[in-house]
A and B are shown apart, each in its own frame.
Chain A
Amino acid sequence: MNGLIKLELARALRNRKFLFFSVIYPSALFLLIAGNADSTAKLPGTGLTLPTYMMVSMASFGALTAVLMGNSERIAKERESGWVRQLRLTTLPGRGYVLAKTASAAVVSLPSIVVVFVVAALVKDVRMESWQWLALTGAIWAGSLVFAALGVAIGYLASGDAVRPITMITYFGLSMLGGLWMPTTTFPGWLQSIAKWMPTHAYAGLGRAIEQSQAPHMGDIANLAVFFVLFAGGAAWLYRKDTLKA
């Protein structure tokens, strides 16, 4: 299986479009949103400056992009082309394919998190304790597994022309409603009450708690855990259905 992970990784790193969207794009978006913002004024109710707040949003957004897009479209495409069938004629265990995909997506999501941090620190003077930087990287990286599972589920659910729009709607919906692009406090009340249940809201909440030198909120962890079970369970069910059909 290591062979497959390595090859998946080499392929992901060669794909410039994918790298741009998962590694460069979140940092660019960070500069666009936080570029002219005041690095000292605190956002009301958070105790964080806008650059600090948006740094977590964009790092989470970058990781989300890498794992969601990396899994869903590739799996759908390779199911259709028959590569998944061909792999079933090798010694690779059934789960190996999904694990290799997720592992390689996770490797790409790491630089997308780190690049946002570096840009934020260098350009917008975001400063934190070293344990905070490490905890932040770890939390955002680990949290992205929830969305990797969602990517796998979409990859086994949709096929052909449908996979891209479904991925895009999910991706933009999660990013926007979860408050990755703008704080949910700017939303109208009814939208806020939807937003607070989004897994992406909890995901960014993990990072923000660390920035505020707090332990992550139990509510956020519970939310992510429930969504992970839901997405991973759905992915496993769809995977088994696909295997019986193929």
Chain B
Amino acid sequence: MRAGQHGGMTTTASVVAFDQVSKAFGDVRAVDGLSLTLHPGETVALLGPNGAGKSTTLDLLLGLKQPDTGTVRVLGTTPREAIVAGRVGAMLQTGGLMDEVTVAELVALACSLHPKPYKASDVLARAGIAQIADRKVNKLSGGQAQRVRFALATAGDSDLIVLDEPTTGMDVTTRQAFWATMREQADQGRTVLFATHYLEEADAIADRVLVLHRGRLLADGTAAEIKARAGARRVSFDLDGTPDESALGALPFLTSLDVSGQTVRLQSADADATVHALYGIGLYPRNLEVTGLGLEQAFVAITTAEEAKQK
């Protein structure tokens, strides 16, 4: 179906629209009936374990692969047309670079190929590679090469920026600097979609997290919502004497319980109520710690639950 036939506000306002998209390689369904919509200005993380279908999803979005069934629309048109109009900037995980040319030459090329280019010197500065502009592309470290790829993706004024695992190969400091740059892009009103396996990044940067598993959308919400779906908080404490597991197991809002020696670790959907009940049954927890569940644990919990359901 063509986007124009929907006629409504939703299609014109959507930056990316997947409608029942499937793509198989032999027997493997890399993307399986995927429907999703990205809205202008969103910063969206695409999260999933290896083989979840992240790269295939991005390839379909960028028109590098064609869906077996379903439709992919980007900015109201086909992926290729959106790219030719200069409305999409993208950085691939597997995006090689031209050898034997300098960083500055390569970035100048990207600018010359963009219909709405920025000045090459600005692109270099913004990607933090001005000081290595004269270096040959094949002499770069992994993290530097990633920054060059980022520069290629942001060579002009695009509406949508797509990044596949952009911080691979970067150390912690570079990664943080990189995300600051990325946030600037988002603050200018661009839609940013990035695939990552650094889950804390999705947590810290994205307004919206899409969890992909076996080619299907498992969860779609804010990082906080996704954490909430998996049991929100972790509580740990020590007890004098041997803990009574059946009494602990009866605590309200409990989602998991682990007792080792005198130490108790549990997860709770409502930590306040659980701790209150703990005192209520006459226990006195020492070294009590209540911590938020990272997105990583939330993510593991969601995918494990999904796998259990399928068995």
Which residues of A are in contact with B by a Cβ distance under 8 Å? 2-4, 7, 10-11, 14-15, 77-78, 80-86, 88-92, 244, 246
6 CB contacts below 8 A, A to B, read A11-B99, A15-B100, A82-B92, A82-B96, A89-B90, A91-B83
Further contacts, 19 of them, CB under 8 A, given A10-B105, A86-B149:
A2-B112, A3-B108, A3-B109, A7-B101, A11-B100, A77-B99, A78-B98, A83-B95, A85-B64, A85-B92, A86-B92, A88-B64, A89-B95, A89-B153, A90-B114, A91-B86, A91-B113, A92-B113, A246-B64
B212 at the interface (CB under 8 A from A): no
Chain B residues with CB under 8 A of A14: 100
Contact A7 B98 (CB under 8 A): yes
Chain B contacts of A81 at CB under 8 A?
Answer: 96-97, 99
Interface of A is mostly: helix
How many residue-residue contacts, CB under 8 A, span A and B?
Answer: 72
Which residues on the A side are within 8 Å of B84 (C-beta)? Answer: 91
B110 interface residue per 8 A CB criterion: yes
CB distance from A105 to the nearest CB of B (A): 15
**A134, chain B: closest CB distance, angstroms:** 34
Please name all residues of chain B whose beta carbon is closer than 8 Å to the beta carbon of A15 when the two chains form the complex. 100
CB distance from A203 to the nearest CB of B (A): 29
CB contact between A90 and one of B97, B99, B113 (< 8 Å): that residue:
B113
Top-10 shortest CB links A-B: A81-B96, A3-B112, A82-B96, A83-B96, A86-B95, A82-B94, A90-B113, A89-B90, A11-B100, A3-B109
Closest-CB distance, A28 to chain B (whole angstroms) = 24
B62 in the interface, Cβ–Cβ < 8 Å?
A: yes
Encoded as 1 (CB less than 8 Å from any A CB) or 0, chain B from 121 to 163 comes to 0000000000000000000000000000100110000000000
Q: What sequence of 0s and 1s flags, for each residue 73-93 of chain B, a beta carbon within 8 Å of any chain A beta carbon?
A: 000000000011010111010
Q: Find the A residue at minimum CB distance from B152.
A: A86
Chain A residues near B98 (CB, 8 Å)?
7, 11, 78, 83
CB proximity to A under 8 Å, residues B6-34: none
- Is B243 positioned at the interface, with any CB of A under 8 Å from its CB? no
**Smallest Cβ distance from A94 to chain B, in angstroms?**
9
Q: What's the minimum C-beta distance from A76 to chain B, rounded to whole angstroms?
A: 12
Q: Which residue of B has the minimal Cβ distance to A4?
A: B109
Least CB separation from B79: chain A residue? A89
Question: Once the chains are docked, how many angstroms separate the CA of A204 from the CA of B219?
Answer: 67
Task: Identify B95's interface contact among A4, A77, A82, CB under 8 A.
Answer: A82
CB neighbours (8 Å) of B115 from chain A are: 91
Q: Is the CB of A10 within 8 A of B101?
A: yes
Contacts of B83 in A (CB 8 A): 89-91
Least CB distance, A96 to chain B, in whole angstroms = 9
Distance A88 CA – B83 CA, assembled complex (angstroms) = 9
Alpha-carbon distance A190/B58, docked complex (angstroms): 56
Q: How far is the CA of A91 from the CA of B85 in the complex (A)?
A: 7
Separation of A209 and B115 alpha carbons in the complex (Å): 48
With A89-B83, A91-B84 as given contacts, are A4 and B101 in contact (CB-CB < 8 Å)? no
Nearest-neighbor residue (CB-CB) of B108 within chain A: A3
Report Cα–Cα, A123/B117, bound state, in Å: 52
Which residue of chain A has the shortest Cβ distance to B113 in the bound complex?
Answer: A90
